[in-house]
Every structure is written in structure tokens, then in C-alpha cells.
């Protein structure tokens, strides 16, 4: 009698676990289908991989020069941001 009760309890627990796993698989499957659908819609607008492959094979960018350019570009953005902020600040003070 005790064994039958324990077996029923184990069976009930296994069925609940199975339901939880199946529900998670359905959610993941739905998400995968949605992502694949969206990727199919935007795939025609993406650049061809030819350019990426060529870039990795023929990487002719001087990394030191490129890092210096990024550094100066960052300084330029900071300069413009500060000037825009000052203009915005003074505009509101003068009102």
C-alpha cells in the first residue's frame, strides 16, 4: 500500500516536470520561429558576406593609425557635446 502511494506521488511529480519541460520547449520553439521569420524579412537588406570575408582576409588597416583616429574622433565628439550643452544651458538661463 505504501509503495503504491509513493509510486503515484512519483508519477504525479514526473508528469508535472514533463509538462514544465514541454511548455519551455514550446516557448523556445516559438521564439526560434519568430527570430527566423524576422531574419528572413531583413535578410535581403543585409550586406553580402563578401565584404566581410574580404576584410578579414585582406585587412590592410593600420591599427595604430586607426586607434589614433578613434581617439581624436572621441575628443571631437566630446568637444561638440560640451559646446552644445553650453549653448543649451545658456539658452535656458537667458529665458
Are 33 and 53 members of one domain?
Answer: no
Backbone angles phi, psi at 55, to 5 degrees: -65, -45
Give the H/E segment covering residue 45.
none
End-to-end CA separation in angstroms for the chain: 87
Q: How far apart are CA 68 and CA 75, in angstroms?
A: 11
- Total domains present in the chain: 2
Given this model, what pLDDT does residue 78 score?
Answer: 92
Given this model, what pLDDT does residue 52 score?
Answer: 67
Helix (H, G, I), strand (E, B) or coil at 59: coil
Given this model, what pLDDT does residue 88 score?
Answer: 81
Are 41 and 58 members of one domain?
Answer: no
What digits encode the pLDDT tens for the residues 63-85?
Answer: 788 888 889 999 999 999 988 88
Are 18 and 55 members of one domain?
Answer: no
Which residue range is the domain that position 55 belongs to?
Answer: 47-95
Are 6 and 16 members of one domain?
Answer: yes
Given this model, what pLDDT does residue 77 score?
Answer: 92
Are 52 and 69 members of one domain?
Answer: yes
What digits encode the pLDDT tens for the residues 6-40?
Answer: 778 888 888 888 888 777 777 777 878 888 888 88
Amino acid at each position: 500500500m505504501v509503495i503504491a502511494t509513493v509510486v503515484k506521488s512519483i508519477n504525479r511529480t514526473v508528469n508535472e516536470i514533463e509538462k514544465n519541460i514541454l511548455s519551455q520547449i514550446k516557448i523556445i520553439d516559438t521564439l526560434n520561429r519568430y527570430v527566423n521569420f524576422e531574419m528572413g524579412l531583413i535578410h535581403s537588406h543585409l550586406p553580402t558576406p563578401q565584404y566581410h570575408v574580404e576584410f578579414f582576409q585582406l585587412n590592410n588597416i593600420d591599427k595604430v593609425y586607426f586607434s589614433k583616429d578613434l581617439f581624436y574622433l572621441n575628443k571631437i565628439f566630446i568637444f561638440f557635446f560640451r559646446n552644445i550643452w553650453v549653448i543649451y544651458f545658456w539658452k535656458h538661463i537667458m529665458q
